[in-house]
Each structure stands twice: as C-alpha cells, then as structure tokens.
Amino acid sequence: MMLLRTGIGALIIALATAGAHAQGVTPNRILVGQSTPLSGANKALGEDIRDGALAYFKKLNEAGGVNGRKIELVTLDDGNDTKRSGENTRKLIQETGVFALFGYASATLSRPALPHVEKHKVPFLSPFTGADPMRVFHKYVYNMRASYADELEKIVDHYSLFGISRFSIVHYDDVVGKENYAAVERALKKRNLTPVSVAAFKDRRNPEIAGGVKSILAGNPEVVILTTLYKASADVIRGAKQAGSTAQMVSNSFPGSTSLADELGKDGVGVAIAQVVPPFSRRSIPVVAEYRAATESLLGKKSYSFTSLESFIAAKVTVEAIRRAGAKLTRESFMQVLDNMSNYDAGGYIIDFSPTNHNGSAFVELTIIGKDGQFKH
C-alpha cells in the first residue's frame, strides 16, 4: 500500500510538472514566444520590438527573475509574411510550448495567430498595432497601447485647431487599411469635413507610389495623413515634395518612428508622427530612464526608439502580472491578474485593464522630426 501511494504521488507530481512544461513554465524559467519580422522591408521594426522586450527581461533576469524564474523570449522571423506568422505561432505553442505570445508587429501578422491562441487558450500580449480589428474585446488578447483611431483623432484634432480643413489620407486597401480610413473619416465628419483626396494601395509589398502621389496631390491637401509601412510612407513623402507639395506630412505610429526617420534622412525634417509612449528623450519619466539604462546594457550603445520603448513597457507590464500571479503560475491565473490590473503605473505610463476591457491605454502625443534627425515634442 505504501509503494502504491508513493507511485500515485509520483505520477501526480509528474503530470503536474508535464502540465506546467506544456504551458512554458518550469521551476526555473518562463518561455514567452514572439513572431516578428527580422528580415525584409520591416526588419528594423521587428528588431526594435524584440530588443525592447529583451532589454527588460535581461534586467529582470540579472536581478534574479520573477518569483524565482527567469524569462526567456523565443523569437521567430516571419519576414512580414502572414503565412509564416501563422506557422510560427503553431510552432511556438505546439512545439516550443510557450506560456504566452508577445509583441507581434502588426494586425495583419497578429490575426493569423488568433485561431491558435483560441484553440490552446494562450495569452496574446501587446500586439504592436492599434487597428480596430484587434481592439474588439477578445478574452486572450491584451493591448497595451492606444488605438490607431485614437492617434488619427489626435492628428485631425491638432491640425483642425489651426483652421486646417484640407486632409488627405494614404492607406492600404485591406481590412486594416480601410479601418484607418474610416477612423480619419469619422474624425473629419465630427468637424463637418471630408477627405479631399485618398491613395489606397492594394499591394503592401509593391505599392504603386507614383499613382498614389498623383491621387493625393490632386486634392491640393494641407495635411497628408499616412498609415502605411515606413518604406511606402517615405516614398510618398519624397514623391510629394519632389512634385512641389508643401502639405504637412504626418504619420500614425504604425511604421515605427525611428524606421521612418532613418528611411527619410534629410527629407524627414518637419514630418510629424503620432506616438503612443512618451518621448525616449524625456529622462525625467521613471520608465524612460529605466528603459535607457537597460537598452544601453543590452546593446552596448545608446540606441533608442519609440518602438523599443513601447516593447520595454509592455514587457514590464507582463512581468508585473506574472509577479502578482505568484509562484503557482498558470495561464488562467495570469489572465485573471491582467483582468484586474487597474491603473497600474509602470513608471509614468498607466495601464488600465478590466474583465471587459483589454485595451490598456489611450495615450497619444505628436512629435516632429527636427533638422538634427531627433524627435521634437
């Protein structure tokens, strides 16, 4: 009888351990999975998302981890391809056995992950998108930044205060792009305005820039709002300037501010960009100072961006929820903590979730690229 009880006890322990491993949690580590572009035209954005999270996880792990466990980020390259994103998600969940997913680079890359997330009940944290389709309440998805609608409302509001009424928009002719267009249209309608011209690119990989520039300039806009990837946005801005346009060019946060500024070079002076985190130059904000120190430690240089700061903050929020969930960590206990993470101050950046609201922030401000290539606010 004693041997039988011992055997049953060992079996229960083994099953419990196997269950924990299946959720990416062991006594010593927690696996977090990520699919993001580390190659192709959107490589810089993907690297920033990865590095921001790594900077926080490195800092955490060197201090002993969270509840005795270190966090390991497993990143797979999707090359900005939706099929690869979906397959990467399958591998991360079913083969690697990650605890949660983190930091996919866009709505188009996030959406293929959702069937796997739902099937295996995996938390999906901080997709790097403000697109409306990802903002609809989803039990397993937690957004830690403002929506594109929030950003576009801020842009229209800011410029309309100066009496500007002629707005154009550049967007992709797909689900997410059309949502961005609709958000601008709503913001304009509130002010009894309509877009004076539109450029809608059918092909994200090979947008027809010349035709888009021609369509936009036909409306003689005062402000051109761009919601496209950084290469397409930069090409439109250059094309418009070469054609003699003096319109104010302003982008939402989608392309990644540093990527867009680097791509534009000297042509970026005066271009405005919406931000969903505070400026990384504002060291008086505690989380910004923390981010800068951790980034220098990871990279060995002072290389900052709004995107990596956003990822750093999201990683910090993730770890705080893990800490609150305690030593007996499960996906269910983790999500229960997130559902009740009300007004959490990450160090000058507030995250506010509830059981019926998984959109944690609406923070937006505008910056402008200066002559020195730095962002002014």
List the chain domain ranges.
2-145+284-361, 148-275
* Beta carbons within 8 Å of 291's beta carbon, 6+ residues apart: 52, 55, 56, 280, 304, 308, 309, 312, 313
Domain pair 2-145+284-361 / 148-275, same fold: yes
* Beta carbons within 8 Å of 247's beta carbon, 6+ residues apart: 168, 221, 222, 223, 224, 240
CA atoms within a 13 Å half-sphere pointing along the CA-CB vector of 19: 11
Closest to 228 in 3D by CA, of 268, 154, 170: 170
Locate all alpha helices (DSSP H) within 168-208, ordered by sequence. Answer: 175-189
pLDDT at residue 258 in the model: 87
**DSSP symbol at 91:** I
pLDDT at residue 316 in the model: 98
Please compute Rg for the chain using Cα positions. Answer: 22
pLDDT at residue 133 in the model: 87
- 138: exposed, middle or buried (Cβ count in 10 Å: 0-12, 13-18, 19+): middle
Provide the CATH topology of domain 2-145+284-361. Rossmann fold (3.40.50)
Closest to 62 in 3D by CA, of 294, 283, 289: 294
CA atoms within a 13 Å half-sphere pointing along the CA-CB vector of 359: 17
* φ/ψ (deg, to 5) at 104: -70, 150
Residue that the structure tokens 């094309």 belong to: 239
pLDDT at residue 210 in the model: 97
How many C-beta neighbours within 10 Å does residue 145 have? 27
* CA–CA distances in Å: residue 222 to residues 160, 165, 366, 377: 11, 7, 17, 21
pLDDT at residue 232 in the model: 95
Q: What is the pLDDT along the chain (377 residues), one digit of tens a residue?
A: 333 333 434 333 333 444 434 489 999 999 999 999 999 878 989 999 999 999 999 999 999 999 999 999 999 999 999 999 999 999 999 999 999 999 999 999 999 999 999 999 999 999 999 998 899 999 999 999 999 999 999 999 999 999 999 999 999 999 889 999 999 999 999 999 999 999 999 998 899 999 999 999 999 999 999 999 899 999 999 999 999 999 999 999 988 888 899 999 999 999 999 999 999 999 999 999 999 999 999 999 999 999 999 999 999 999 999 999 999 999 999 999 999 999 999 999 999 999 999 999 999 999 999 988 889 87
Q: Does domain 148-275 have CATH number 3.40.50.2300?
A: yes
Q: Are the CB atoms for 235 and 201 separated by under 8 Å?
A: no
pLDDT at residue 121 in the model: 97
Measured between its terminal Cα atoms, the distance across the chain in Å is 74
